Structure 1
Amino acid sequence: MKNARLKVIYSETFSDLKLFYRDTNLPDNLIANYKPGQIIQEKGFTDMTSIGGGLSENFRYLIASANAKDLSKFNPESAKMGHFLLDTIAYFKVLDIQKIDNKTQVFLLNIPDNSLTLFKNSTSNLEEQITEKARKKFSDKINLALVPELQTEDWKERTKLPIGMSDNGELFFDDSKIKIESLKRIEINTAKKTIEVNKNPWWKIW
């Protein structure tokens, strides 16, 4: 993969990155389908909220995305729920799975569909940094007061299904088909505005 293309992919993925929440109840056998480093695909629209309150269900998706659509621009009611949407056929990398007592958070990074091999075969310090923030958000928010606008039947209906699989646990995408290469460590130096891979400088990204 050429440096210019890598620059575009990392800019598209991490520039303007925001965190979103989606809570539901999932049985243990579905939760067990998620593995750190896994690439998953969601076929349908992904409804999520920018408002992070307490967790009333047993499971939370924390989703990092730079591509979510703000539906409050089209519907004032959506503003009350902090309603954002990802289009159909969205891809994610599972960055982390965290469990506190009987509640679980899976942290997903929304990635471009042309970058599956790259993200399957690499890790980066940026991924580690946002994962650390995700873990802190879960521990800080898990017992906060519930957000009433996110407890409605309509919202729970929108967010009840698992991401990346059917409601019986069949994964929509088999990431074992992605070509496996040697795992690369990508260092992104935001202070110097350069990207380094294995401590060898590559390109300016911002």
Structure 2
Amino acid sequence: MRRQLILACFLLTPVIAAPALSGPLTDAAASADAAIAAGDFDAWYAANEVLIETAWNAAGLHFGNLVATTGPATAYGAYEPRASTVYAAGEPVELYIEPRGYGYGDLGGGQLEIAFDIDLRVLEPSGSVVMEQENFANFVVKTRARSRELMVNLTATFDGAPAGNYTLEFTFKDRHSDQTASFTNDITLQ
């Protein structure tokens, strides 16, 4: 009897411990699954768009690839990584950034806008701020689709800056979602 009771408790544990799966992401995934099972590609596509949009909004503004590059990227994913983050005096610091989770502004007539104001802070290794520039850069793109493959090129040049190690802190302020997100990039100026 004791053995049967232990076995019964063991078998019930996963059921009791498993959280109830529900919510917008689970519902959207279930709709996509049902559409695939029914062989309805159009319904699957629509359900998949809801799933992606729900996850996109839940994640909030953040960044995918952040790469020091040899020059500006020509398109999403079309960049050449830089081997080192050591820069000669006056040499431009080129960065490739993939923002994610941003909002969309409705411009009317089926047109949307993705827009960021980007602040820059330059910090010494001690954390003290050497330079700060609000709205260092602005990025605006107009589109008729909820584009999710977006890249931003940033270029900063530090003419006359003393040689040393610095941390560049960029803060993206999303004009259409009131979200902000920051990332840092360490560089050495020679």
**TM-score, with structure 2 as normaliser:** 0.26
**TM-score, with structure 1 as normaliser:** 0.24
Which of the two has greater strand per residue?
A: 2
Q: Look at both structures and tell me which one has the larger radius of gyration over its CA atoms.
A: 2
**Structure of higher RCO (CA pairs closer than 8 Å, 6+ residues apart):** 1
